[in-house]
Amino acid sequence: MIGDETIAAISTPIGEGGIGIVRLSGSSAVEITETIFRPASGLLLSEVNSHTLHYGHIVSGGQRVDEVLVTVMHGPRTYTREDIVEINCHGGIVATRAVLDLVLRGGARLAERGEFTKRAFLNGRIALDQAKAVADLVSAKTRLGLEVAIDQLGGRFSQAIGVLRGEIAELLARIEVEIDYPDLDPETAELLPAMDDLAAQVARLIAQGEQGRVVREGLTIAIIGRPNVGKSTLLNALLAEERAIVTAIPGTTRDTVEEEAVIEGIPVRLIDTAGLRTPTDPVEKEGVKRAEDAILRADLLLLVLDRSARITVEDRELLARDWERPCVLVLNKSDLPRQLDPIANLPGKALHEISAREKNGIVQLTGAILELLLGGELPARNTILLLDAWERDLLRRTHAALTQAQQAVRAGLSADMVAEELRAAHIIAGELQGVDASEEVLDRLFARFCVGK
């Protein structure tokens, strides 16, 4: 156990709901609560069974502060593996704060962000990625994000890394035989298939982490095109509400319009922009500048053309531009007869025909967007990994070390050199498991939490 300070915090969100929970964890949790709690049963909290609930009042100087339900849970069968007391306050936030004050005066220390979960980790109750999953759970913005976080709570990532490290260790053992008895088989070259397999495993984890980044942080999509092609209508169709003004007058949208949506469980920021053309007045000029800014921020562009009109010079310019990000061509107004000239095969640009006004083809369009951004497959919750930047970095470094090991074999270098790279990969992967996690890594991780978790 770490230290014997008892920590306390309000574990429920501020300002929501009528019940607030003050949570204590540590060896004095029960003792501290006992000094301020008068159970209706007259029992002593220190003598009640573990994992039981007790009705009564919190008192201070003979005054009743709140009517409460107190849960007593003795370690190690608790979240932190320490003794935990949870005081369910019913008098709203003011009473909850008053109870927390009393607990702190009674000898508890205010918990830091994520300290309960940090203790759970340090006491060996949960793995590092499970701790992280708790943070993701608390901050999940969408149902998919929530499901992935719950899934990861099972420790899927650390298990995968555990298996990976085991396989690297096995390879190392085989190479060390080679080093000690150079005349004996196997040749290092025989280890190549196993090494390829390891590198592929890590590459897969990196890809799954990339999907996780999208699930957690969301995507920004900008809708662009010349005036009057139906950009605002498309925004409204994607949002399923009449958010942006739509008129038949070219140049209707003069400022960017931004709105959050959730598509297939992924948080998406949609930006409708002013029609891109040579501006005719200062307001339009500013609008076009903002549209260009939106393009720079976007992960993906929807370039809209009017399918019911001949192609214009402006359209051609937009089609020819290198946007430096994925771009989906949307041919709008498919409910009208086609006038649009055939568009030459544009490499790397998917093409979709829709009617934004009639809401035809929208589902196919959103499916295509997600497919494009998530590497060909829609994320299933059990293939997504929520990784932090430092974890992604460690994975990349593991992959690099494995690649170096492969190259060493291919270049016919000594078994010693190959082993060195493999050992590096083994150590870096160990950091991912929290085996050698430094204080700094832990602090960074738990700082993402809120107080009380």
Ligand X SMILES: Nc1nc2c(ncn2[C@@H]2O[C@H](COP(=O)(O)OP(=O)(O)OP(=O)(O)O)[C@@H](O)[C@H]2O)c(=O)[nH]1
Task: Tell me the closest approach of the beta carbon of residue 277 to ligand X, in angstroms.
Answer: 8
Beta-bridge partners for 49? none
71 binds Mg ion (CB under 5 A): no
Task: Tell me the closest approach of the beta carbon of residue 239 to ligand X, in angstroms.
Answer: 13
211 binds Mg ion (CB under 5 A): no
Task: Tell me the closest approach of the beta carbon of residue 338 to Mg ion, in angstroms.
Answer: 22
Task: Tell me the closest approach of the beta carbon of residue 275 to Mg ion, in angstroms.
Answer: 7
Pull the structure tokens for residue 26: 């540590």
- Selection from 303, 314, 359, 364 nearest residue 333 by Cα: 359
Distances (CA, A) of 300 to 52, 325, 364, 382: 53, 6, 16, 25
Comparing CB distances to Mg ion, the nearer of 72 and 235 is 235
Task: Tell me the closest approach of the beta carbon of residue 366 to ligand X, in angstroms.
Answer: 16
Comparing CB distances to ligand X, the nearer of 11 and 334 is 334
Contact 11, 23 (CB under 8 A): yes
Stretch that binds Mg ion, among 56-64, 181-189, 231-239, 348-356 (CB under 5 A): 231-239
Which region, left, alpha or beta, applies to residue 241 given φ > 0 means left and ψ of -120 to 50 means alpha? beta
Stretch that binds Mg ion, among 7-15, 245-253, 321-329, 390-398 (CB under 5 A): 245-253
Task: Tell me the closest approach of the beta carbon of residue 287 to ligand X, in angstroms.
Answer: 9
| Rounded CA separation 362/202 (Å) | 35
Contact 58, 102 (CB under 8 A): yes
Q: Which of 6, 232, 334, 366 binds Mg ion (CB under 5 A)?
A: 232
Comparing CB distances to ligand X, the nearer of 123 and 252 is 252
| Rounded CA separation 135/11 (Å) | 13
Task: Tell me the closest approach of the beta carbon of residue 244 to Mg ion, in angstroms.
Answer: 6
308 binds Mg ion (CB under 5 A): no
| Distant-in-sequence, close-in-space partners of 407: CB < 8 Å, separation ≥ 6 | none
3-class SS of residue 235: helix
Comparing CB distances to ligand X, the nearer of 127 and 303 is 303
Asked if omega into 279 is within 30° of 0 (cis), the reply is no
Comparing CB distances to ligand X, the nearer of 13 and 250 is 250
Comparing CB distances to ligand X, the nearer of 184 and 248 is 248
Residue 12 interface partner, choices ligand X, Mg ion, none, CB cut-off 5-8 Å depending on type: none
Contact 206, 400 (CB under 8 A): no
CA Rg value for the chain:
29
- What is the contact surface with ligand X in residues (CB under 6 A)? 225, 227-233, 246-248, 250-253, 274-275, 332-333, 335-336, 355-358
252 binds Mg ion (CB under 5 A): yes
Contact 405, 422 (CB under 8 A): yes
Comparing CB distances to ligand X, the nearer of 77 and 289 is 289
Helices (H), 325-451: 362-373, 389-410, 415-433, 439-446
Residue 356 interface partner, choices Mg ion, ligand X, none, CB cut-off 5-8 Å depending on type: ligand X
Residues near Mg ion (CB under 5 A) are 231-232, 252-253
